[in-house]
Amino acid sequence: MAMAMADPSAELEKLREENASLRDQLRHHTLRELAAGGDGLRGSSGGDGGGGACPAAAWAAGGHGLSRDQVQRYSRQLLLPSFGVGAQERLCEGSVLIVGAGGLGSPVALYLAACGVGCLGIMDPDRVEVHNLHRQVIHTEASVGELKVASASRACLAINSSIKVVAYPFGLAAKNALEIIRQYDVVVDASDNVATRYLVSDACVVANRPLVSGAALGMEGQLTVYNYSNGPCYRCLFPTPPPQAACQRCSDAGVLGVVPGIVGTFQALEAIKILSKVGDPLSSRMLILDSMSSRIHTVKLRGKSAECVACGGSPAINHITLPNFDYEGFSSSPMSDAAPPRQQVVGKDQSITCRDYHKSVEGHKAHVLLDVRDQHQYIIASLPNSLNVPFDKLPEQLDTVRGAAKKHAPDGGENVPLYVICRRGNDSQQAVQVLRSAGFNSVYDITGGLQSWVQEVDPTFPDL
Ligand SMILES: [Zn+2]
């Protein structure tokens, strides 16, 4: 006799409902018993409350010091056999310093707060800006203009008011690094500049603290743990700073918001593993994320270097020399995650301010406006009647520029003024030099680029 097959999804739904109902009954039953001081939970005779007067004492911890609130809050990770009460206790007693409350620091702070790390230090000198929000998910629209550490601390305590959060509204500096880092068990580098990377690494070596280091750029990310379990430090791998640290282009690579989110979440995981002594932290290995192909792989890193000036046999960097080390000079990079300062390359006689250029446009004076940003940036927003020739392609497109100059010159010559603009005013100065050496005589840099245009002339133009 063939039996009719029950609809599996209907069966599953029925079982779910029964399960929810049983859970509900059990919860109410337990709460009623607790309220009555009964012995619904195990070990009611134990505890330190004496008798049944104190409901919270109506249970016994099996040799651990977690409170009832902590057991309830962290129950889903306590249930993990590989984690358990010992690991949770170590987290609750532990402390982590997070250097940077931006794209990487956001998930680090949120997850470490949520999972119960006892004390979080959050360090960042900057304020929340609207263009941060696509990746710095710890901040909200309401916190734009506020110090990032204030916004981040509030978010962490909103998730878990039982932890302690210390806010440092300034950047890590050679003078303060050792004193602050020594107060924490683990350090997470969530900064985004080369100078701070060297400083955090050196300070962690001198203070003997493990460092969870992460980076995200464009569509890619990477992370590793330095100075842990006899593994290398940052200087072991990069004894000299990358040359691009000194290179200040206007065309920043940009970053897809979720990429630092993923890397930061991995950083939180590594900090949890180190603090709780669970798992195998990423020492001497580097995890590399290629978000576009959804590939993650780990590569083995070189070991500790005997010649390393920080962690080698005879280190030049120690608690006396570190506070006086010039990290910005050494790395040719500012110790700030903000945009690098604009460099003045061309003279004032070859420059025009945004205000003066605007007056010239309003006076209908013949000219050519050359925008040397990459095409994909130009498409986002540009000034009217501009000609886009990307800086990298300028040498091969001089005829295009010459043609535009001829078209706009009242006398048919080439001497119509040529104004060059870019995002921040660095590439445009170099373009002026290229054009002048190619024979263009009246070429001028629009000082400060489109960022200055927003500030000086048109606040409705998008601040890129
Ligand atoms: Zn080293």
pLDDT at 460: 92
Q: Is 64 annotated as a binding residue?
A: no
Q: Would 211 be classed as within a structural domain?
A: yes
283 and 409 together in one domain: no
Which residue, of 331, 362, 385, is where some domain finishes? 331
Q: Would 253 be classed as within a structural domain?
A: yes
pLDDT at 19: 61
For 209-238, the pLDDT digits (tens) are 999 999 998 899 999 999 999 999 999 999
Which residue, of 278, 305, 331, is where some domain finishes? 331
**Average pLDDT for residues 422-432, to the nearest whole number?**
93
CA–CA distance, 277 with 336 (Å, rounded to integer): 33
354 is catalytic: no
Tokens representing residue 154 in the block: 């509030």
- Whether 30 shows a pLDDT value over 60: the answer reads no
CATH code assigned at 352: 3.40.250.10
Q: Would 27 be classed as within a structural domain?
A: no
306 and 391 together in one domain: no
Nearest to 352 by CA among 415, 444, 458: 444
Task: Considering only CA atoms, give the Rg of the chain.
Answer: 30
pLDDT at 405: 87
Contacts of residue 155, Cβ cutoff 8 Å, sequence gap at least 6:
109, 110, 113, 138, 139
290 and 376 together in one domain: no
User: Could you tell me the distance, in angstroms and rounded to a whole number, from the CA of residue 313 to the centre of ligand 1?
Assistant: 10
- Whether 136 shows a pLDDT value over 80: the answer reads yes
- For residue 345, what pLDDT band results from cuts at 50, 70 and 90? confident
Q: Is 233 annotated as a binding residue?
A: yes
Amino acid identity, residue 384? P
323 and 422 together in one domain: no
**Which residues lie at CB < 5 A from ion ligand 1?**
233, 235-236, 308, 310-311
User: Could you tell me the distance, in angstroms and rounded to a whole number, from the CA of residue 224 to the centre of ligand 1?
Assistant: 14
Q: Would 15 be classed as within a structural domain?
A: no
pLDDT at 59: 78
User: Could you tell me the distance, in angstroms and rounded to a whole number, from the CA of residue 192 to the centre of ligand 1?
Assistant: 20
**Average pLDDT for residues 356-361, to the nearest whole number?**
94
Q: Would 180 be classed as within a structural domain?
A: yes
pLDDT at 336: 78
Query: DSSP letters along 376-389, please?
Result: HHHHH---TTEEE-
293 and 356 together in one domain: no
Distant-in-sequence contacts of 145-149, Cβ < 8 A, 24+ apart: 148/101, 148/102, 148/124, 149/101, 149/122, 149/123, 149/124
pLDDT above 90 as % of the chain = 71
136 and 209 together in one domain: yes
Q: Is 192 annotated as a binding residue?
A: yes
The pTM of the whole model exceeds 0.85? no
- For residue 337, what pLDDT band results from cuts at 50, 70 and 90? low
CA angle 221, 233, 214 (to 5 degrees): 20
269 and 206 together in one domain: yes
Q: Would 23 be classed as within a structural domain?
A: no
Domain holding 442, by residue range, is 348-456
For 66-94, the pLDDT digits (tens) are 999 999 999 999 999 999 999 999 999 99
Per-residue buried b or exposed e for 37-49, using 16+ beta carbons within 10 Å of the residue's own CB: beebeeebeeeee
What is the count of structural domains for the chain?
2
pLDDT at 436: 93
User: Could you tell me the distance, in angstroms and rounded to a whole number, from the CA of residue 284 to the centre of ligand 1?
Assistant: 12
CA–CA distance, 406 with 173 (Å, rounded to integer): 54
For 31-71, the pLDDT digits (tens) are 333 333 333 333 333 333 333 445 556 778 788 899 999 99
262 and 319 together in one domain: yes
CATH code assigned at 139: 3.40.50.720
CA 210 from centroid of its chain's CA atoms: 19
Q: Would 439 be classed as within a structural domain?
A: yes
Q: For residue 317, give Cα distances in angstroms to 222, 230, 288, 308, 400.
A: 26, 18, 29, 10, 54
422 is catalytic: yes
Q: Is 402 annotated as a binding residue?
A: no
Q: Would 224 be classed as within a structural domain?
A: yes
User: Could you tell me the distance, in angstroms and rounded to a whole number, from the CA of residue 155 to the centre of ligand 1?
Assistant: 35
324 and 419 together in one domain: no
Share the mean pLDDT of the chain.
87
159 and 118 together in one domain: yes
Nearest to 463 by CA among 216, 182, 130: 130
For 228-271, the pLDDT digits (tens) are 999 999 999 999 998 764 455 555 678 899 999 999 999 999 99
- For residue 109, what pLDDT band results from cuts at 50, 70 and 90? very high
User: Could you tell me the distance, in angstroms and rounded to a whole number, from the CA of residue 308 to the centre of ligand 1?
Assistant: 5
The span from the first CA to the last CA of the chain, in angstroms, equals: 73
pLDDT above 70 as % of the chain = 84
Q: Is 78 annotated as a binding residue?
A: no
Pairwise pLDDT comparison (325 vs 18), residue with the higher score: 325
Q: Which among 92, 119, 156, 250 is annotated as catalytic?
A: 250
Q: Is 236 annotated as a binding residue?
A: yes
Q: How many residues does the chain have?
A: 464
- Whether 24 shows a pLDDT value over 70: the answer reads no
Pairwise pLDDT comparison (12 vs 125), residue with the higher score: 125
260 and 400 together in one domain: no
pLDDT at 7: 60
Tokens representing residue 345 in the block: 């390359």
374 and 406 together in one domain: yes
